[in-house]
Every structure is written in C-alpha cells, then in structure tokens.
Amino acid sequence: MKALFIILTGLLVLVNAFFVIAEYALVRSRKPRLETMAEEGKRGARLAIRQIDDIGDYIAACQVGITAASIGIGALGEPALAHVLEPLLGHALGHVASVTVSVIIAYMLITVTQSIIGEIVPKLYTIQHAEDLARRIARPMQFFRWLFTPFIVLLNSASESILRLLGTDPNAEPEGGTPD
C-alpha cells in the first residue's frame, strides 16, 4: 500500500505540473502569436485564444487542479514516505525520534520534489514555450473546466466579491492597458 501511495504521489506531482503549465501558458501567451499559429492551421491555437479571452475561468480551473494535486501530494506522500523511512532510522534513534525524523525528512523530500518537478521546472519551461504549450493543453483544459464548472463558478464569484471589497473592479482592464 505504501508503494501505491508513493506512485500516486508521483502522479499527482505530474498532475500539478500539468496545471502549472496550463496556467502559465495561458497567462504568458501572446494572442498575436497564437493568431498566427491559428492561421497556419496549428491545432488548438483557436481554442487557446478563446481560453485567453475567458482567462478567469481557466485560471480558476488551474487553481482547482493545482490545489487538489497539492493536497493529495501532502496527504498521500508524506505519510507513505515517512513509513518507509521510519524503520530505517528506528534502530539507531529509537522509536519516537525515528518517527519524528522520518516525518521531517519525508516532508522535506516531498516539498523539494513538489517544488522542483511540480512548480519550478514547469514554470521555467513554459516561459520559453508559452504559445505552443497553450495550444497543446487547450483541449484537456476545456474538458477540465467543463467537469468542474460549478466549483469554478463558486471560486470566481467568491474571488470577485473579495476584489470588490478591496475596491477593485474585477472586470476592469489592468492599469496601463494590455500587452496586445
């Protein structure tokens, strides 16, 4: 069972990476470049443009995916890894100390793995390949958005309410206009 949880944790890190890529690709993509790709017949380019036009829903969809994956990584990965490490430390440290040290090591390993593979590498890679990735993830993101529409609507409504409380119009253009 521990092995299964560790494998599932690895898969969740990859799921997290997918949603980080999706979020960064949509935020970093330049519409004129995607429009050129669409004119060239590149698959997914037109859908990516529509997703950028409706970016609030897609950012919320990405956050649902990232948050769910991150919670799963912590819930499954840390205990499973700690249970693997604890017997290795038990003889040298004693039971209480080995449990404590194994939990700390497991937490650190999960955090480092999640940070590097699930966050940093996907972000840095996407910065260099935003438009290509935006069009490649467009169809799976469309499905994910559809699947979690009620939750996304709730998140967007709550976010917009908080923005209004802060005195910000959630539908206003950013200061200085848009880069397009």
Quick one: pLDDT at residue 175? 67
DSSP label of 129: S
pLDDT surpasses 60 at 75: yes
pLDDT tens column, 22-49:
999 999 999 999 999 999 999 999 999 9
Residue 30 CA to residue 131 CA, distance in Å, equals 7
Write down the mean pLDDT value for the chain.
91
- pLDDT category, 87, cuts 50, 70, 90? confident
Residues near 139 by beta carbon (within 8 Å), at least 6 away in sequence: 44, 47
